[in-house]
């Protein structure tokens, strides 16, 4: 009997506990529903869209929420806003940075919301389309400064300050060298910790294509580590209609407060291999690049073809030297994409001058000047190719404003050696070279020359000039007056020796005075 009472007592106790627990759960549920309803009413009373619009206006920005506003409470209280439009000026037509955002999710905390404050822990931006007309404006936004009727406020007191910003399926479009480029963006910016990571990708853009990963850290000194892979950079035109691309571009970069440091930038240009190191300084509206580079085995044929150039050169060339370039970052640029200038050395053991055969021209010009038979001379050289193949070629180069200046030029042919300098106007497609040419007496047979011995083994002025498309016969020739002076001098020497021999040298003193 006692056991029966004990079982009944335990059953009644469990039933009582379950009833109380059920009441607590129901009570908590009802309290949650009431709290959620109250919070919804509170948020509605706060008018979040108006709060955001007002806070943005204090910074001189324009912000509107044209879509719906949704609420979630788990795992953290958050507000979702749809169809947002932003501009960095209160007058959108004057904006230098603007954005349309499909959805923005703002995660807040309970205490700040319940106290009527706009407290933001994180923001997730999905489907943002950001348009920049002047990249310098981004620096102002990053610094928390805006311009408008409300003046400037310090970023520390900004009601828009967030701890973390996440970008999803977003793009940024802006001018690089006056050409609009669109870049896909994704990643996280830990704004409170002043660090983050971004992934960017540009496809089929007029200036830059490739994938870029950026590690950011601006807690103390601004710095970043960037990795670019499978890149392609348009560095402008040499006067032709086609862009000049550096292909397969890759680079490691480090950021400082004033620019980027390039480490081991590699790529290909016209099948040649590029290796460069340098620095990019970030100014208000442009990037200034300085680089030390080597270009190995640049194939001139595809390079000139890409520029629709008829410069009569073929083969491959090696370049080394220092480069300076400016890359405008606004949409009012009318200059070439990259304003390139530089200086250094070039060399080649596979260079061809395709307009004419310099050795044949030298022999023909000398034959004509000394009164020989040009027909006979042409018969000797009829089997020679209509181009010049250099065994080796080297020169100093300097490029500025489309003018390529050559100095200390030295080239070796089969029987002719040339030294000198000149210039190539890449935009006007004209060139002018002034050389001293020396024909070797040991190789005259190979050149097909039958010349006066007085013209052998002597440096004679020889020049090539003209437009790219001019006939070959107008391009190159000897300095006629210099050859005539040389031949005249040799003729007078021979005449003096003949008269001395015929006079038994009795007239030598008189002849010396006469011929000098």
- In tens, the pLDDT along 477-500 reads 777 776 666 655 555 555 545 555
Q: Which residues of the chain carry a pLDDT beneath 50?
A: 4-9, 13-14, 17-18, 20-36, 38, 143-160, 496, 510-511, 513-515
How confident is the model at residue 485, as a pLDDT?
A: 65
Bridge-based pairing of strands 164-176 and 122-132 is parallel
Would 195 be classed as within a structural domain? Answer: no
Residues 211 and 183: beta-carbon distance below 8 Å: no
Is position 224 within any domain? no
Residue 457 has a pLDDT of: 77
Could you list the residue range(s) of the whole structural domain that residue 33 is in? Answer: 17-46
Report if pTM > 0.75.
no
The C-alpha angle with vertex 117 and arms to 116 and 123, in degrees rounded to 5, equals: 130
Nearest to 295 by CA among 315, 333, 264, 268: 268
Please check whether residue 129 lies inside any domain of the structure: no
pLDDT at 414 (0 to 100)? 81
Considering all CA atoms of the chain, what is the largest pairwise distance in Å, rounded to the nearest integer?
171
Residue 217 lies in a domain: no
Is position 385 within any domain?
yes
Q: Which residue has the tokens 């021999």?
A: 501
The answer to the question of residue 127 being in a domain is: no
Q: How far apart are CA 35 and CA 38, in angstroms?
A: 5
The H or E element spanning position 484 is helix 480-502
Q: Cβ contacts of residue 200 below 8 Å, gap of 6+?
A: 183, 184, 185, 211, 212, 213, 214
Domain termination residue (choose one: 27, 46, 65): 46
Domain annotation covers residue 508: no
Q: What is the pLDDT of residue 153?
A: 38
Polymer length in residues for the chain: 516
| Residue 159, both tokens | 């009601």
**How far lies 292's CA from each of 54, 275, 276, 346, in Å?**
51, 8, 6, 14
Evaluate whether residue 467 is within a structural domain: yes
Give the pLDDT score at 290: 92
pLDDT at 159: 43
Q: List phi, psi (to 5°) of 272.
A: -90, 155
Number of compact structural domains in the chain: 2
List, in sequence order, every beta strand (DSSP E) within 329-384.
Answer: 341-353
Cβ pair 433, 406 in contact under 8 A: yes
pLDDT at residue number 149: 34
> What sign for the dihedral angle of Cα 257, 259, 261, 266?
positive
CA distance 346 to 395: 6
Residue 213: partners with Cβ closer than 8 Å, 6 or more residues away: 197, 198, 199, 200, 226, 227
In this prediction, residue 118 carries a pLDDT of 58
- Output the CA–CA distances (angstroms, integers) from residue 103 to 69, 80, 466, in the order listed: 10, 7, 62
Residue 20 buriedness (CB in 10 A; 0-12 / 13-18 / 19+)? exposed
């Amino acid at each position: 009997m006692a056991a029966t009472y004990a079982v009944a007592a335990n059953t009644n106790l469990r039933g009582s506990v379950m009833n109380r627990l059920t009441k607590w759960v129901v009570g908590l549920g009802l309290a949650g529903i009431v709290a959620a309803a109250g919070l919804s009413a509170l948020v509605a009373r706060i008018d979040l869209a108006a709060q955001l619009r007002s806070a943005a206006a204090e910074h001189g920005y324009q912000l509107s929420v044209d879509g719906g506003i949704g609420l979630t409470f788990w795992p953290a209280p958050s507000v979702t806003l749809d169809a947002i439009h932003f501009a960095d000026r209160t007058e959108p037509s004057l904006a230098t940075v603007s954005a349309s955002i499909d959805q923005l999710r703002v995660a807040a905390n309970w205490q700040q919301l319940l106290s009527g404050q706009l407290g933001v822990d994180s923001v997730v931006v999905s489907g943002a389309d950001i348009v920049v007309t002047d990249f310098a404006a981004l620096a102002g936004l990053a610094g928390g400064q805006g311009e408008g009727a409300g003046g400037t406020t310090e970023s520390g007191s900004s009601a828009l300050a967030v701890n973390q910003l996440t970008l999803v399926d977003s793009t940024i479009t802006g001018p690089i060298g006056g050409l609009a480029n669109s870049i896909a963006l994704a990643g996280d910016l830990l704004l409170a910790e002043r660090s983050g990571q971004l992934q960017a990708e540009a496809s089929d853009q007029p200036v830059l294509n490739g994938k870029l990963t950026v590690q950011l850290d601006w807690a103390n000194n601004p710095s970043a580590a960037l990795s670019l892979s499978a890149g392609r950079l348009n560095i402008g035109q040499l006067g032709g209609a086609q862009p000049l691309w550096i292909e397969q571009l890759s680079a490691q970069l480090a950021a400082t407060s004033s620019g980027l440091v390039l480490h081991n930038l590699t790529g290909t240009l016209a099948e040649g291999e590029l290796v460069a190191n340098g620095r990019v300084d970030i100014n208000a509206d442009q990037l200034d690049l300085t680089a030390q580079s080597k270009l190995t085995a640049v194939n001139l044929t595809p390079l000139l073809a890409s520029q629709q150039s008829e410069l009569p050169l073929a083969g491959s060339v090696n370049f080394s030297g220092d480069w300076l370039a400016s890359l405008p970052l606004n949409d009012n640029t009318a200059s070439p994409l990259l304003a390139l200038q530089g200086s250094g050395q070039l060399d080649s053991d596979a260079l061809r001058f395709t307009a004419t055969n310099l050795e044949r021209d030298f022999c023909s010009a000398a034959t004509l000047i000394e009164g020989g038979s040009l027909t006979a001379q042409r018969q000797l050289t009829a089997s020679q190719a209509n181009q010049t193949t250099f065994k080796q070629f080297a020169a100093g180069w300097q490029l500025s404003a489309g003018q390529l200046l050559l100095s200390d030029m030295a080239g070796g042919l089969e029987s002719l050696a040339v030294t000198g300098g000149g210039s190539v106007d890449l935009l006007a497609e004209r060139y002018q070279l002034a050389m001293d040419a020396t024909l070797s007496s040991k190789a005259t047979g190979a050149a097909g020359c039958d010349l006066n011995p007085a013209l052998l083994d002597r440096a004679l002025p020889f020049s090539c000039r003209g437009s790219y498309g001019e006939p070959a016969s107008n391009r190159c020739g000897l300095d006629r007056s210099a050859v005539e002076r040389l031949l005249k001098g040799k003729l007078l020497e021979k005449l003096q020796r003949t008269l001395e021999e015929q006079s038994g040298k009795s007239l030598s003193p008189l002849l010396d005075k006469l011929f000098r």
